[in-house]
Amino acid sequence: MRVFIALEIPDRAKDNFERSSKQFEMFANKGNFVTKDNYHITLHFIGNIDESKLIYLQSAMDKVSNMSAPNLSVNQFVVLRASNVVCAKFNKEQNLLKLHDALGENLENLGFTVERRAYRPHITIIRNYGFELPFSEVTKNVDVYNKPFTADKVVLYESVFGQKGVTYRKLYEVALAAEE
């Protein structure tokens, strides 16, 4: 099974990302638009693992449940470098960075491989995009709904590949502590 650990996005924030996505659609001549149900912020991609290892991932997640939930807001839509992905980029948030690092350390201590490249938290909006206009012109016409939201659940997801594309199935979740 192919799995990753991510922050769940609250419904109200998902609605805002969907509104922006619909505005992007008006300018797109191609692209795979991520559905509202699939919005998330990846903390750590695990990859293909045997189902028997899920308990270890759950253990790593349990160890961060005492951490404060991050309060996030989008600062802009960008294209990820060296990819064909449009995403919502977040302002730097210390609770998010601490959560990412602590979870990574827990995963490493349990024998999982963790990526060493710089962490760039984002929500993917479109894969394999194409626009008639330059991206900088398109973004002038897309609203950034940057009302802050709290992402208070860490979720273990399985990527399920079907005829209509990829969907994410929730396998396990832990609640984070409220900001003090």
Strand segments (E) across the chain: 2-8, 28-33, 40-48, 71-72, 74-79, 85-90, 122-131, 149-150, 153-162, 165-175
Please answer whether residues 21 and 85 qualify as being in contact, where contact means their C-beta atoms are separated by less than 8 angstroms: no
Query: Which tens digit of pLDDT belongs to each residue from 17-39?
Result: 999 999 999 999 999 999 999 99
Is 8 among the domain residues?
Answer: yes
Domains in the chain, number: 1
**pLDDT of 2-21, one tens digit each?**
999 999 999 999 999 999 99
pLDDT band at 180 (very low <50, low <70, confident <90, very high): low
Coil, strand, or helix at residue 16?
A: helix
- What is the distance between the alpha carbons of residues 22 and 28, in angstroms, rounded to a whole number? 10
Q: Which residue segment(s) compose the domain that 35 sits in?
A: 2-175
The answer to whether residue 180 is domain-embedded is no
CATH number where 31 lies: 3.90.1140.10
- DSSP letters, 18-45, are HHHHHHHHTTEEEEEEPPGGG-EEEEEE
How far is the C-alpha of 9 from the C-alpha of 150, rounded, in Å? 8
Does 27 map to a domain? yes
Opening angle at CA 12, ends 155 and 124, nearest 5? 55
Q: Report if residue 166 sits inside a domain.
A: yes
Q: State pLDDT tens for residues 74-123.
A: 989 999 877 889 999 998 799 999 999 999 999 999 999 999 888 999 99
Average pLDDT over the chain, rounded to whole? 94
